């Protein structure tokens, strides 16, 4: 059993630290990474895990205010109060969508997977025992949904992957901008312009680079786990990750002219946040 | 004495440097290089900054109408199941 990932998810106004732990199957492959725990999420695990290897996830909550009201809401849902389920889901919408979007990188697909996850949560709610937050459980289901969809897409895009193989090995990527980096603080993520710039930069990557970058840097999976999920070698993960990171950096650089002074018009044009 | 390393080699290793996936010897060579190379330092700072930003939960926003569509679908399911 090993620690695969530790994520910080914001939901219900709280920061939730979720730790994914999983045992590998005999071949050393990890085919399912998202599950709340072996008891509550068993059905969902089986649906998403082709190899059927045992998995467990422990959710560690840094703060759990309102736990009683969540339990009350669940009880009301189980007694037939539909509105209570909406109340339960509403604060998690963003985190659920983010969990699917970062894996699928397509709004329509991500929304579809998020909706399916919510419906599955509703169907399986009676199996949720409340050992952890409902939001954590729901996000695990959403991640599973997105990964299943990704696997299907990969299967369907066999021709794409053959084209990629024909591309052969990549040459070195040379960064385009060398001006001193003016750090973008995390607080700037509150600005829509920066979030849009990140999405644009992500979209500018090729599919194979984006897949690696998202799993490794957005979802915080290890290099080995990323390789297993995508069915590629660890060396390929590292090569693609390097290019993706450098391309993302160039996409967010303020410009070749080095207009780094925040007060200058050129800087404002490129980095309005 | 640390063996010098070129900018091109630094770029090739910079991602692994951030992930701590390089040998101590390579790390020492790169850190020595960063001391005297503003360009590579800028590449390192920017790459590290980008990795931190995209790993932040706030980096992606909800599409317009997401909630409405979600509850519409949910209502349909609730109507069937109840």
Q: What is the pLDDT of residue A114?
A: 96
Of B12, B46, B54, the CB nearest to A172: B12
What is the CATH topology of the domain spanning A2-156?
Rna Polymerase Sigma Factor; Chain: A (1.10.1740)
Chain B residue with minimum CA distance to A250: B46
Distance from CA of A175 to the nearest CA of B (A): 7
Q: What is the pLDDT of residue A141?
A: 87
Tens of pLDDT along A101-124?
877 878 899 999 999 999 999 999
* Cβ-defined contact of A85 to B16 (cutoff 8 Å): no
Q: Residues near A154 by Cβ (< 8 Å), separated by ≥ 6?
A: A161, A230, A231
Q: In this model, does residue A90 exceed pLDDT 80?
A: yes
Tens of pLDDT along A210-240?
888 987 898 777 898 788 777 899 999 999 9
Instruction: Spell out the CATH class of A158-270.
Output: mainly alpha
Among candidate residues A134, A116, A150, A140, the one with its CA nearest the CA of residue A230: A150
What is the band of A207 on the pLDDT scale with cuts at 50, 70, 90? confident
Tens of pLDDT along A125-183?
999 977 767 877 887 788 789 888 988 887 765 544 444 444 444 678 989 888 788 88
The average pLDDT across B56-82 equals: 83
Best mutation site among A100, A169, A218, A226 for testing chain B: the one with the most B CBs within 10 Å?
A218
Residue B52 contacts A where some CB pair is shorter than 8 Å: yes
What is the band of A266 on the pLDDT scale with cuts at 50, 70, 90? low
The average pLDDT across A91-109 equals: 83
Q: In this model, does residue A273 exceed pLDDT 80?
A: no
Most confident of A68-72, A99-103, A186-190: A186-190
Higher pLDDT, A102 or A72: A72
Tens of pLDDT along B3-22?
899 999 999 999 999 999 99
What is the band of A269 on the pLDDT scale with cuts at 50, 70, 90? low
The residues spanned by each domain of chain A are: 2-156, 158-270
Q: Which range (A54-58, A86-90, A187-191) has the least confidence?
A: A54-58
Radius of gyration of chain B (CA): 23
Interface of A with B in 156-185 (CB under 8 A): 172-175, 177-181, 183-184
Chain A residue with minimum CA distance to B45: A181
The residues spanned by each domain of chain B are: 7-81
> CB under 8 Å, gap of 24 or more: what pairs does A261-267 form?
A262/A182
Q: What is the pLDDT of residue B18?
A: 96
C-alpha A63/C-alpha A70 separation (Å) is: 14
Q: What is the pLDDT of residue B45?
A: 95
Tens of pLDDT along B22-50?
999 999 999 999 999 999 999 999 999 99
Of B51, B66, B75, the CB nearest to A217: B51
Q: Parallel, antiparallel, or unpaired for β A55-61 and A14-22?
A: antiparallel
Model ipTM? Answer: 0.81
What is the band of A78 on the pLDDT scale with cuts at 50, 70, 90? very high
pTM, 2 dp:
0.60
Residue A59: in which H helix or E strand, if any? strand A55-61
Residue B76 contacts A where some CB pair is shorter than 8 Å: no
C-alpha A10/C-alpha B8 separation (Å) is: 39
Most confident of A2-16, A24-38, A118-132: A118-132
Extract the tokens encoding A32.
Answer: 């399912």
Q: What is the pLDDT of residue A194?
A: 87
Residue A84 contacts B where some CB pair is shorter than 8 Å: no
Question: A119 to each of A92, A188, A246, B56, how far by Cα in Å?
Answer: 14, 34, 39, 27
Of B59, B66, B77, the CB nearest to A122: B77
What is the band of B82 on the pLDDT scale with cuts at 50, 70, 90? low
* Cβ-defined contact of B47 to A245 (cutoff 8 Å): yes
* Cβ-defined contact of A189 to B58 (cutoff 8 Å): yes
* Cβ-defined contact of A180 to B71 (cutoff 8 Å): no
């Amino acid at each position: 059993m090993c620690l695969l990932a530790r994520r910080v998810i914001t939901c219900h106004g709280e920061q939730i630290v979720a730790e994914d732990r999983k045992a590998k199957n005999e071949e050393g492959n990890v085919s399912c990474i998202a599950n709340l725990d072996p008891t509550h999420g068993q059905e969902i695990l089986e649906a998403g895990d082709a190899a059927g290897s045992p998995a467990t996830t422990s959710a560690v909550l840094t703060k759990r205010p309102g736990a009683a009201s969540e339990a009350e809401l669940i009880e009301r849902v189980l007694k037939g109060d539909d509105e209570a389920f909406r109340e339960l889901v509403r604060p998690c919408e963003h985190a659920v969508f983010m969990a699917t979007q970062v894996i699928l990188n397509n709004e329509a697909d991500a929304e579809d997977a998020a909706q399916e996850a919510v419906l599955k949560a509703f169907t399986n709610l009676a199996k949720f025992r409340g050992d952890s937050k409902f939001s954590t459980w729901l996000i695990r289901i959403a991640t599973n949904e997105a990964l299943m969809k990704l696997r299907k897409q990969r299967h369907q895009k066999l021709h794409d992957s053959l084209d990629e193989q024909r591309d052969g090995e990549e040459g070195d990527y040379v960064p385009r901008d060398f001006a001193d980096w003016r750090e973008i603080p995390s607080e700037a993520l509150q600005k829509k312009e920066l979030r849009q710039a990140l999405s644009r930069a992500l979209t500018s990557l090729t599919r194979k680079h984006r897949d690696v970058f998202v799993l490794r840097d957005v979802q915080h999976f290890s290099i080995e786990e990323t390789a297993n999920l995508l069915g590629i070698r660890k060396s390929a993960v590292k090569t693609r990750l390097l290019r993706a990171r450098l391309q993302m950096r160039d996409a967010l650089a303020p410009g070749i002219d080095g207009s780094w002074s925040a007060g200058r018009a050129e800087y404002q044009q490129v980095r309005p946040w | 004495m640390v063996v010098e390393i070129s900018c091109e080699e630094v770029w090739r290793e910079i991602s692994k440097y951030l992930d701590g996936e390089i040998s101590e010897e390579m790390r020492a060579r790169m850190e020595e290089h960063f001391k005297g190379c503003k360009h590579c330092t800028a590449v390192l700072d920017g790459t590290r900054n980008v990795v931190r930003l995209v790993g932040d939960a706030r980096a992606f926003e909800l599409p317009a109408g997401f909630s409405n569509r979600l509850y519409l679908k949910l209502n349909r399911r609730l109507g069937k199941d109840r």
